[in-house]
Structure 1
Amino acid sequence: MKLLLAFLPFFFSASPAVEPLSPHGIQAAAAYSAAHGGHALLVKQNGKMVHESYTNGHSKREPHRIYSGTKAYWGIMAFAAEKDGLFSFDEHVADTITEWRGDRRKSQITIRQLLDFSHGLEPMFGLHENTFPDRTTAALKAGAVAAPGKSFIYGPAALQVFHELLARKLEHKQTPTRYLERKVLGPLGLSSQRYLPDQHGAPLLAAGFMQTARQWSELGTWMLRQEEVFMKLQGSSVNAAFAFGFWNNHAAASKAGREVDAESMLDRKWQQQSWRNACLSRSAPADLIACIGSYGQRLYIVPSMKLVVVRLAKDSKPNDAALLKLLFSKGP
């Protein structure tokens, strides 16, 4: 990890155009994607579109559900809020959510732990339901099933708590959704999104957005210019591969790094998941980060290669390692 951090500034410094991806690798990845339920594959490098294909009956202007790819937008909004001085990531949630002050575990949860999923709260997957009446009240009452910082628990509860925390920090002068639109979506050229609000207007932060491949790629293009954000996507001691809605490939730089199929691992109960030395692909650069949405929705970003890749799909068994191995292959 320390070796990767030492080289990160180099990835972002001004430099000539990097070596392009092999056309063979791009075509192999495109064929693989199409054969496994792919709807779109888009590749941008050095600021130019080098591949764009739509398969299995899908088209360029068709928005797709990006599922958990939605989380990253709220994660970026959290960086904007921290920069604006609304909070610090290491302050306790209970400083704002005062109802938690009397709970031995909840009173110790930090904002950072909400966003890297090391909070210890039960996941509460039922909050995903479109008909859920009051996500905020339910999430604030979520049980603390592990001590903060001791387990990785992926689920919507923590993000709904974060939404309420931000609403209180904003003192209801504007909604978190409006803040997201002003600070993140607007600068990316995106309009309001599909928020899936409950009966009280609280959006679902864990999923919901629908975007075309080109729209989602704009997030990747923007991220290539954000050295400060990249430096903060280090994950936690219980899962170094995830933070703020982004997955990273940092462990690929280590001999101990092991490829983990993130979607398959997340299908297990949180107590049965293993994230030690996890990476997405040993064949891909270690500075790769990714947004991962169900059924193969992917945004890959590689700053050292000035590379953005979007995949949209209906893939029942998406495999990052297989796709990325092909994409970064040099040819026969």
Structure 2
Amino acid sequence: MHRRTVLKGLASALLGGSGGFAQTVPDPNNPLFHKLAAAYSAQNRGIALLVMVDGQTVFEDYPNGGSPTRAHELASGTKSFCGVMAVAAAQDGLLWLEEPLAQTLTEWQGHPWRSQINLRQLLHLTSGIPGGNLARPPTYRAALETPAEAPPDTRFSYGPIPFQIFGEVMRRKLKGDPLEYLTRRIFKPIGLEYAFWRRGPDGNPHLPSGARLTARSWARFGELVRQGGVWQGQRLIDEALLQKCFEPSKVNPLYGLTWWLGRPISPAQRSVIGRVGQELDTLASTPHLPDDLVIAAGAGEQRLYVSRKLKLVVVRQAEGIVESLAGRRTAFSDAAFLGLLLTGQG
């Protein structure tokens, strides 16, 4: 049976045979909508769905072999830790977002384009350095040696290389391991434990991908973001600095500092948003969704959605990372999923 037919049938059954929805205002607490979104996610290889509203878990579902204790790879969902780590480091006085990277990466001095790149441009993915192969993060050294292909702030290029460069910047600033800093500064204070984090042949942690977390652990990170950097009454991250993560670049209106932004864009802007951005672009034309939605997104449709206006954190995990990277993706749509979750309309 066709997926949409199944969903319509389920919707009708859940709403007593009404056959449709009059809901126009998002209702993240609606248990009927949760079931619709869960069914849609499960049909598209979903293994975990967790919904939190105002800090309370209101729904969990673990189909297709998932479980609350099963840690799953976030793929590029890992990238969004970098933006939060960067603003935390700025708060700690380790760096500043407009800092020329050549001050730390001295081998870049004298290069026409690389000497002009600052940290904000690197994490906006507008440095002019290519993103590289999504599935193969280079070593930190190899990333540093990647030549720029354009001046800063002229093109958007999504991929692992800029994040590995950021790892080397942090390693030199800290004179230590970036993941140890992230763990001490962010993860431990919020009680987040990762099951595994891939490292490269150089021994350094992969920052663009490779983190493996349970849905509940990833939701903790989302809740810290939703609360503007506060955890259980304690401020961990300056709110104004954290907000920098959700400001788009001049080049790509759907990408902040390592976070995707679910907001309307013009037709003229669609040519620069990248493949993931194209998948998320349909959110712009979806009615009744929050305009402050921010998203950590990974291959296989791993998702962390956060909206402060709706007091909402949603984690969605799924099988199929390898297939997705190879271009064999499911029919999962962010717009359809969130439409079902918040209004019952896919």
Classify the TM-score, shorter chain.
0.7 to 0.9
Equivalent residues in 2 for 1:313-324, closer than 5 Å: 313-314=318-319, 316-317=329-330, 318-324=332-338
Count, aligned residues: 298
2:314 maps to which residue?
309
Query: Where in structure 1 are there 5+ consecutive unaligned residues?
Result: 1-17, 267-272
In structure 2, give the amino acid aligned to 1:322. Answer: A
Q: Distance in 2 between matches of 1:308 and 1:149?
A: 31
- SS of 1:128's equivalent? coil
Match for 2:217 among 180, 191, 215? 215
Q: Distance in 2 between matches of 1:127 and 1:46?
A: 35
1:147 maps to which residue?
151
1:280 maps to which residue?
283
**TM-score normalised by L of structure 2:** 0.79
Q: Percent identity?
A: 36
Equivalent residues in 2 for 1:77-96, closer than 5 Å: 77-96=85-104
- SS of 2:130's equivalent? coil
- SS of 1:295's equivalent? coil
**TM-score normalised by L of structure 1:** 0.82
In structure 1, give the amino acid aligned to 2:334. Answer: D
Q: Distance in 2 between matches of 1:314 and 1:151?
A: 32
Q: Distance in 1 between matches of 2:202 and 2:62?
A: 38
Asked whether the equivalents of residues 77 and 302 of structure 2 are also in contact (C-alpha less than 8 Å), the reply is yes
Residue 46 of structure 1, CA deviation: 2.0
Deviation per CA, 1:172-213: give whole Å up to 9, x if none: 1x3222111111111121246533222321111100111111
2:187 maps to which residue?
185
Q: Distance in 2 between matches of 1:42 and 1:126?
A: 27
Match for 1:224 among 221, 226, 229? 226
Equivalent residues in 2 for 1:124-203, closer than 5 Å: 124-125=132-133, 128=136, 135-170=139-174, 172=175, 174-191=176-193, 194-203=196-205
Deviation per CA, 1:7-64: give whole Å up to 9, x if none: xxxxxxxxxxx96533332221111111111111111112222111111122221111
Match for 1:299 among 304, 307, 315? 304
In structure 1, give the amino acid aligned to 2:141. Answer: T
Q: Distance in 2 between matches of 1:124 and 1:292?
A: 17
Match for 1:245 among 258, 261, 264? 258
In structure 1, give the amino acid aligned to 2:248. Answer: G
In structure 2, give the amino acid aligned to 1:234. Answer: E
Decide whether aligned partners of structure 1 residues 250 and 126 sit closer, same or farther in structure 2, where only a CA change above 3 A counts: closer
Q: Distance in 2 between matches of 1:220 and 1:326?
A: 20
Residue 126 of structure 1, CA deviation: 7.1
Asked whether the equivalents of residues 90 and 97 of structure 2 are also in contact (C-alpha less than 8 Å), the reply is yes
- SS of 1:243's equivalent? coil
Query: Where in structure 2 are there 5+ consecutive unaligned residues?
Result: 1-25, 229-238, 321-328
1:265 maps to which residue?
275
- What do you get for the CA RMSD once the two structures are aligned? 2.8
Q: Distance in 2 between matches of 1:40 and 1:19?
A: 20
- SS of 1:137's equivalent? helix
Residue 232 of structure 1, CA deviation: 4.1
Decide whether aligned partners of structure 1 residues 50 and 126 sit closer, same or farther in structure 2, where only a CA change above 3 A counts: closer
Match for 2:36 among 13, 25, 28? 28
Decide whether aligned partners of structure 1 residues 42 and 274 sit closer, same or farther in structure 2, where only a CA change above 3 A counts: closer
In structure 2, give the amino acid aligned to 1:216. Answer: W
Asked whether the equivalents of residues 194 and 212 of structure 2 are also in contact (C-alpha less than 8 Å), the reply is no
Q: Distance in 1 between matches of 2:278 and 2:273?
A: 13
Decide whether aligned partners of structure 1 residues 215 and 312 sit closer, same or farther in structure 2, where only a CA change above 3 A counts: same
Greater RCO (Cα-Cα under 8 Å, separation 6 or more) = 1
Asked whether the equivalents of residues 289 and 300 of structure 1 are also in contact (C-alpha less than 8 Å), the reply is yes
Decide whether aligned partners of structure 1 residues 126 and 24 sit closer, same or farther in structure 2, where only a CA change above 3 A counts: closer
Q: Distance in 1 between matches of 2:67 and 2:194?
A: 22
Decide whether aligned partners of structure 1 residues 235 and 199 sit closer, same or farther in structure 2, where only a CA change above 3 A counts: same
- SS of 2:197's equivalent? coil
